[in-house]
């Protein structure tokens, strides 16, 4: 990793310019809506009336002062690592012996996913918990996402992101810590455990990346029990039916970015559909997550103009080459029922040092946003077990 010369850490605050709000509202007001077949629902993608309602609320009723207040409720900073601006929350616990923890998000989420868990993790006593479960929490906006973007050169893949996160933790003075992540953040977390075992005490993930080729069996499916086969089939079905977005973003992200950068309705349609499909919402996304929380995430992308650079991570990352063959630090896995990628445990145990495995009762791909109480409780349980 290159050095930047300036390793200063600067306070950061989210402020929304009135001109940006006016521009967003004007664009939403001028949206040219496509047709939709009768009774199509969500079968062809984002349902028209859902998106109309969401965009009308974003235009007319979304409270921008409350948005700023939510994002500024915790201490934020910025620094420069590997030539790239890096924004992060650093929420130090009042408990001096708290465990350092770094949280890594994925796509199409953002650091806004963690707003409901930062307080309970850092100060459990203030949220009805045990002070012994406290964390010093670091939650970066990953390079290319939100306030850490856009990236401005080729080659900014997930391993490079993981190295930037490791450098951030070192810069903050944490020589030992726990790492947690989901989606791309799960791969960031796995790489931290694999490449920095001298710094990372343990990792905890919502997803488990692995290469079936790294398993010892000639036919990895022969290792699977009934539950493992069900997981395998469910994940294969998702890959067959729901990953066109991945193919586009991994091959032609620039072409897609013109529409999503110019049209807030287009951005909401692209990201909103993923939140509905990947969360444990039973088809009713707004009652599950809520319009304001969904629009917090969308607004981060819109205001920072980082949908393009966030999608480029798919183009830049060779997932097979990036996925470690072995992660030897203690690993915990929270298995949320609506998670779209389910790794059979017997496979995971060949790659990771699985010491904790919890089948969660609710939640999906955006667990910290969907079920923050369960997310916090599970992470506390894992760290409590490893001591």
What residue segments make up the domains of the chain, in order of their start?
Answer: 10-386
Evaluate whether 329 touches 353 at the Cβ level (below 8 Å). yes
What's CA 61's distance to the chain center, in Å?
26
pLDDT value at residue 241: 94
Q: How far apart are CA 266 and CA 271, in angstroms?
A: 9
Confidence of residue 387 (pLDDT cuts 50, 70, 90): confident
pLDDT on residue 216: 78
Using the CB atoms, write b or e for 306-322: b if 16+ within 10 Å: bbbbbbbbbbbbeeeeb
**pTM of this structure:** 0.97
Fold of 10-386: Rossmann fold (3.40.50)
User: Pick the catalytic residue: 57, 315, 353, 362?
Assistant: 315
Of 208, 252, 223, nearest to 343 by C-alpha is 208
Q: Which of 136, 356, 365, 378 is catalytic?
A: 365
Q: Which helix (H) or strand (E) holds 20?
A: helix 18-29
pLDDT, one tens digit per residue, over 60-118 is: 999 999 999 999 999 999 999 999 999 999 999 999 999 999 999 999 999 999 999 99
**For position 4, what pLDDT does the model report?**
53
Which of 112, 168, 196, 142 has its CA nearest to residue 317? Answer: 142
pLDDT tier for residue 217 given thresholds of 50, 70 and 90: confident
Sort 333 into a burial class: Cβ within 10 Å, 0-12 / 13-18 / 19+. buried
Residue 333 phi/psi, 5-degree rounding, is -130, 125
Q: Given the structure tokens 């290159």, which residue do they identify? A: 2
- Catalytic residue list contains 365: yes
Which residue of the set 183, 280, 296, 378 is catalytic? Answer: 183
Top pLDDT among 7 and 117 is at 117
Mean pLDDT of 223-251: 94
* DSSP 8-state code for residue 175: S
Which are the contacts of 26, defined by CB distance < 8 A and separation ≥ 6? none
Q: Is the pLDDT reported for residue 3 higher than 70?
A: no
CB atoms within 10 A of CB 349: 13
| Residue 223 banded pLDDT, cuts 50, 70, 90 | confident
Average pLDDT over residues 6-23: 96
Question: Which residues, 6+ apart, have CB-to-CB distance to 249 below 8 Å?
Answer: 256, 311, 312, 314, 315
Q: In this predicted model, what pLDDT tens digit does every residue of 21-69 receive, in sequence order?
A: 999 999 999 999 999 999 999 999 999 999 999 999 999 999 999 999 9
Does an H or E element contain 52, and which?
A: helix 48-60
Considering the chain, what is the average pLDDT of its residues?
96
Of 42-46, 132-136, 143-147, 231-235, the least confident: 231-235
pLDDT digits (tens, 9 = 90+) for 158-198: 999 999 999 999 999 999 999 999 999 999 999 999 999 99
183 is catalytic: yes
CB 58 within 8 A of CB 264: yes
Nearest-angstrom CA–CA distance, 142 and 163:
11
pLDDT at 18 exceeding the cut of 90: yes
């Amino acid at each position: 990793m290159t050095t930047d010369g300036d390793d200063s850490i600067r306070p950061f605050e989210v402020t929304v310019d009135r001109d940006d709000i006016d521009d967003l509202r004007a664009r939403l007001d001028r949206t040219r809506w496509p047709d939709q077949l009768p009774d199509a629902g969500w079968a062809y993608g984002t349902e028209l009336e859902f998106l109309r309602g969401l965009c009308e609320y974003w235009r007319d009723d979304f409270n921008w002062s409350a948005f700023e207040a939510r994002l500024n409720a915790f201490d934020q900073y910025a620094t420069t690592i590997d030539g790239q601006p890096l924004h992060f929350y650093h929420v130090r616990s009042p408990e001096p012996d708290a465990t350092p923890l770094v949280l890594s998000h994925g796509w199409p989420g953002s650091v806004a996913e963690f707003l409901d868990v930062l307080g309970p993790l850092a100060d459990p006593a203030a949220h009805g918990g045990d002070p012994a479960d406290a964390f010093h929490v670091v939650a970066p906006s990953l390079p290319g996402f939100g306030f850490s973007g856009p990236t401005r050169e080729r080659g900014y893949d997930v391993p490079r992101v993981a190295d930037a996160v490791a450098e951030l933790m070192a810069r903050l003075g944490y020589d030992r810590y726990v790492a947690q992540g989901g989606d791309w953040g799960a791969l960031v977390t796995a790489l931290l455990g694999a490449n920095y075992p001298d710094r990372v005490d343990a990792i905890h993930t919502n997803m488990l990346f692995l290469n079936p080729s790294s398993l010892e069996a000639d036919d990895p499916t022969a290792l699977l029990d009934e539950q493992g086969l069900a997981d395998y089939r469910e994940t294969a079905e998702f890959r067959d039916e729901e990953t066109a977005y991945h193919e586009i973003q991994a091959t032609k992200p620039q072409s897609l970015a013109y529409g999503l950068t110019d049209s807030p309705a287009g951005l909401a349609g692209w990201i909103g559909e993923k939140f509905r499909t990947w969360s444990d919402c039973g088809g009713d996304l707004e009652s599950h997550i809520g319009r304001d929380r969904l629009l917090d995430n969308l607004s981060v992308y819109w205001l920072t103009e980082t949908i393009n650079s966030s999608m480029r991570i798919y183009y830049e990352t060779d997932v097979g080459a990036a996925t470690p063959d072995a992660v030897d630090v203690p690993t915990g896995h929270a298995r949320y029922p609506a998670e779209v990628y389910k790794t059979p445990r017997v496979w995971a145990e060949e790659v990771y040092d699985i010491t904790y495995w919890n089948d969660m009762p609710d939640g999906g791909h955006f667990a910290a946003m969907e079920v923050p109480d369960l997310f916090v409780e599970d992470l506390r349980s894992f760290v409590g077990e490893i001591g």
